Amino acid sequence: MFAYIIRRLVYGIVTLFALSLVVFVLIQFSGGSPLDRLKLNPRMQPVIAQLTEQWGLDKPWYQQYFIWLKNFVTPVAVQPQEGLMVLGRIGIRSWVAFAAFFGVIAYSIGAFFVKIETNWWRTYRAFSILVVAFIAFWIIKSRIVFSLNWGESFRGDGAVWDNVFGAAGNTFRLGLTALAIALIIGIPLGVYQAIKQYSFFDQLGTTLSFITFSTPIFIIGVMLQLILAYQLERWLGMKVFYVVGMTSSGYESLGRGLLGLPSLAQLGDIVQHLTLPAVSIAAISLAGYSRFQRASMLEVMHSDYLRTAKAKGLPRRTIIVKHALRNAMIPIVTLVSLDIASMIGGAIITESIFGWPGVGRLYIGAINAVDYPTIMAVVLAIGTGVVIMNIVADILYGVLDPRVRYD
Amino acid sequence: MTERESSDQLVLEAAEGISAEPITQWDLFVTRLRRHRLAMVAFFFMAFVTYVALMAPLFTCEKNVTFCGSGPIQMSFLTTLIMVVVAVGSGYLAYRSFKGQLRGAGTALAIVAVVSVLFLISSWGIIDLPHINHYADQLPDEDGRILVNIAPRSSLPMGTDDIGRDVLSRVIHGGRASLAVGIVVGALVALLGTVVGALAGYYPGVVDQSLMRFTDLVLGLPLLPVAIVVGRVLPELRILPGFLKQGAWGIAVLLGALIWGGLARIVRAEFLSLREKEFVEAARAAGANDRRIIFRHILPNAISPIIVQTTLVVGTAIIVEAALSFLGFGVRPPIPTWGGMSAAGAAIAPRGYWWELVFSAGALISTVLAINFMGDGLRDALDPTQTIERK
């Protein structure tokens, strides 16, 4: 198992290396240069010369690549920041509170479905590990001040490391909300469809998920904007959902809640901004989850051990929840871990439609300006996410299903 | 069609009132496919979309004969020739298949290949179509003003866009980019995925390991970010020939090169299990060489996952191309694509000009939907163990 993980990690690093090389070469061989805009102005000649030397743009591409690679993996010391810094604009304490809040909700939902697990700590443990890892990461990031030398943005908006991680927080806010929506609706939907196979509701659900699955995410986003934002505003005479940004411009003046949490008005503002982009990302995953859950549930429902359970005279609810659902969830877990990685890809489109200041929008802006330190950083951050989530998916599969062996 | 029946047999059949015509796998496949109503609708819809996209120059021309009133049809000799050949050829094939004279997967593949090649040649027009791309299509009214943002009406079934181009013409032409991407990506993925998967599955050891590590590497690349970078630099790459820089070709090749990995894994898994089967052993004992075993014995048995997966990949490719064009990194603006038109339509839709967005998005969604239904129908029809439960 350990050797397996190590081997997968090595492959992952090779993949990332190849990825960086491909992207770097592509950028280098395109005609564009980050200084193109300056060249329009003849008086900028000395500045161009200086920047060309400073950024090493006059060297051959392979030298530039190795310089970049060396810097990319070099840690740098940064001045310690004041206190614990923020993720997005919300303090770390509120993230802890959020995590606890959602944890309680998730636990209650889980307890409702499973209803057998008396040892709450066991149910809670996996979740607690995630929360602890999350907090530890942000403390390390902001307190012990660890940073890699990812260079300065060519667009003059500061250190790439800070930009990418600032944007990553915003993308996570969007992506995790979308994931929660997709899971909370999609899985019960799939289970219900499987239980009532070939009923009207099942047919409807299958058709709807087929249509959603075939719809590009940008059309969903744009349609949501048109119907739920512009048209609803026209009908009601007031703004219900916003189409651009994470918060309104007057967000700070909406009061301050306890413990660094946003106040009620601020929370409402966040929800008004978050709903549409999160739903548009969630819609496609939701369709996928419900279809997948339906299929895997059906497969389990026809298995021998369920017939045994039925023959023993167990109540239907126990059979479905305790016997069937647990096994039918195994493929879903893998799917979700892979989906988290691809959600970042979907977020590129959604963020550019909804003006969400996340990784995707940072990426599009960097691409347009041939800002290659940022491009490389974002591509590698996403690539690392994909590699790690692939490994996590495989490991989880083996942990949950003892029949799977690693070789 | 089959020559092998002697007249004696035919007489015998006539006497007994039964047919000695063997029921082939292909017949079973067609029977099962016909039962899948949605898939049949999807097939006809895709045939319609493909035909319209192929014949786009006929429907839309310099002065828009069909929809706008006056002006001569202007077509190149090549386009005319291709249209005549396709129309006559597909009519002939439709007649033959209607009469039940067409048999065998080989013939079907030949049809697909011929249509694809013709289509590829004719989509050459994607690269430059002055009357669609460069505003010559604007429609002045009696006072000579340009009619921009005209709502759909009988003479303009889909209205005009914000610089006065006919949306219907552009939706028809936009289909060419999407379908070209779909077909090229499908062909590339089927070819690469099958070859790599087959080699890796058939030859264990070094070949398998190295090919699959390479596949893992390609699968590990995040699709959309890489596609965006390539889409951005494609028109500027100095080393590429011209036709790859503009239009849909470069995008199609790029997507094909990025998403064959999934199919390769599936084909390898099929080969791994089929390699151990008795019929392969029998073939080997009869002295068949590796090439014959791979192509004549194992591949036909692995064909169904290949077809299904390829169909699904075509849908994905069309969506990704549309997304790239929507973001501005795919096919560049004056050339119409459904994704690019959706972006332009989305910009003016909040002001009440909904038609460009709705019609281009509708065309995109229904095409992808039809492809996915085709995949669904093929999956059911290609599975010989399936008991027919659904209507």
DSSP state for residue B156 in the 8-state scheme: B
Residue B192 Cα distances to A99, B184, B185, B253, B256, angstroms: 46, 12, 10, 12, 9
**B237: its two tokens:** 């790459």
Residues of chain B contacting A211 with CB distance shorter than 8 Å = 365, 369
Is residue B11 situated within a structural domain? no
pLDDT at A382: 85
pLDDT at B282: 93
**CB pair distance less than 8 Å for A222 and B222:** no
Tens-place pLDDT, residues A84-112: 444 444 455 556 666 666 666 666 566 55
**CB pair distance less than 8 Å for A218 and B339:** yes
Is residue B391 situated within a structural domain? no
Tens-place pLDDT, residues B272-287: 888 888 999 999 999 8
**A228: its two tokens:** 């739920």
**B82: its two tokens:** 């291709």
Residues of chain A contacting B223 with CB distance shorter than 8 Å = 342, 345
CA atoms within 13 A on the CB side of A63: 6
* Secondary-structure breakdown of chain B: helix, strand, coil percentages, each rounded to the nearest 5: 70, 0, 30
Name the residue among B349, B364, B373 with its Cβ closest to that of A226.
B349
pLDDT at A372: 81
Q: Which domain holds residue B288?
A: 20-382
Chain B interface residues facing chain A, Cβ-Cβ under 8 Å? Answer: 213, 216-217, 220-226, 228-230, 232-233, 236-239, 315, 319, 322-323, 326-327, 329, 339, 342-343, 346, 349-350, 354, 357, 361, 364-365, 368-369, 371-373, 376
> Which uninterrupted H or E stretch holds B127?
none
| Complex ipTM more than 0.90, yes or no | no
pLDDT at B129: 42
pLDDT at B5: 45
What is the domain count for chain B?
1
Cβ count near A102 (within 10 Å)? 14
Backbone angles phi, psi at B156, to 5 degrees: -125, 85
pLDDT band at B114 (very low <50, low <70, confident <90, very high): low
CA angle in degrees (0–180, nearest 5) for A54-A58-A62: 105
Flag whether pLDDT at A284 surpasses 60.
Answer: yes
In whole angstroms, give the CA distance from residue B330 to residue B254: 11
**Chain B interface includes A49 (CB < 8 A):** no
A334 neighbors A397 (Cβ within 8 angstroms): yes
pLDDT band at A74 (very low <50, low <70, confident <90, very high): confident
Tens-place pLDDT, residues B233-250: 877 766 666 666 666 778
Flag whether pLDDT at B21 surpasses 60.
Answer: yes
Burial bucket for residue A190 (CB in 10 Å: 0-12, 13-18, 19+): buried
Percent of chain A whose pLDDT exceeds 70: 73
Is residue B114 situated within a structural domain? yes
Here the CATH number for the domain that contains residue B229 is 1.10.3720.10
pLDDT at B247: 64
What would you report as the CA-atom Rg of chain A, rounded to the nearest whole angstrom?
Answer: 24
DSSP, collapsed to helix, strand or coil, labels residue B362 as: helix
Average pLDDT of chain B to the nearest whole number: 74
A242 neighbors A273 (Cβ within 8 angstroms): yes
**CB pair distance less than 8 Å for A29 and B237:** yes
Residues of chain B contacting A367 with CB distance shorter than 8 Å = 228-229, 232, 329
| CA-based torsion, B150, B156, B161, B165: positive or negative | negative
Task: Give the total residue count for chain B.
Answer: 391
In whole angstroms, give the CA distance from residue A104 to residue A42: 62
Flag whether pLDDT at B33 surpasses 70.
Answer: yes
A312 neighbors A375 (Cβ within 8 angstroms): no
Name the residue among B221, B327, B372 with its Cβ closest to that of A214.
B372
A246 neighbors A356 (Cβ within 8 angstroms): yes
DSSP, collapsed to helix, strand or coil, labels residue B240 as: coil
What amino acid occupies position A352?
S
Is residue B13 situated within a structural domain? no
Residues of chain B contacting A219 with CB distance shorter than 8 Å = 342, 361, 364-365
pLDDT at B27: 73
In whole angstroms, give the CA distance from residue B136 to residue B131: 5
**Chain B interface includes A180 (CB < 8 A):** no
Compare B50 and B140 and report the one with higher pLDDT: B50
Plot region of B135 (φ>0 → left; ψ -120 to 50 → alpha; else → beta) = left
Is residue B125 situated within a structural domain? yes
In whole angstroms, give the CA distance from residue B323 to residue B319: 6
pLDDT at A79: 52
Residues of chain A contacting B216 with CB distance shorter than 8 Å = 11, 15
**CB pair distance less than 8 Å for A218 and B369:** no
Alpha helices (runs of H) in B203-286, residue ranges in sequence order: 206-220, 223-233, 242-245, 249-258, 261-274, 278-285
In whole angstroms, give the CA distance from residue B253 to residue B234: 11
In whole angstroms, give the CA distance from residue A277 to residue A274: 6
Is residue B12 situated within a structural domain? no
**A94: its two tokens:** 């509120």
DSSP, collapsed to helix, strand or coil, labels residue B92 as: helix
Torsion of CA B353, B354, B357, B359, to 10 degrees: -120
Residue with tokens 């564009």: A32
Q: What is the mean pLDDT of residues A74-80?
A: 60
Compare B384 and A281 and report the one with higher pLDDT: A281
Q: What is the mean pLDDT of residues A326-353?
A: 80
Tens-place pLDDT, residues B342-356: 998 988 888 888 888
| CA-based torsion, B256, B259, B263, B268: positive or negative | positive
**CB pair distance less than 8 Å for A379 and B226:** yes
Flag whether pLDDT at A268 surpasses 80.
Answer: yes
- Which residues are A148's β-sheet partners? A75
In whole angstroms, give the CA distance from residue A367 to residue A371: 6
**Interface subset of A 230-259, CB within 8 angstroms of B:** 230
Average pLDDT of chain A to the nearest whole number: 78
**Chain B interface includes A378 (CB < 8 A):** yes
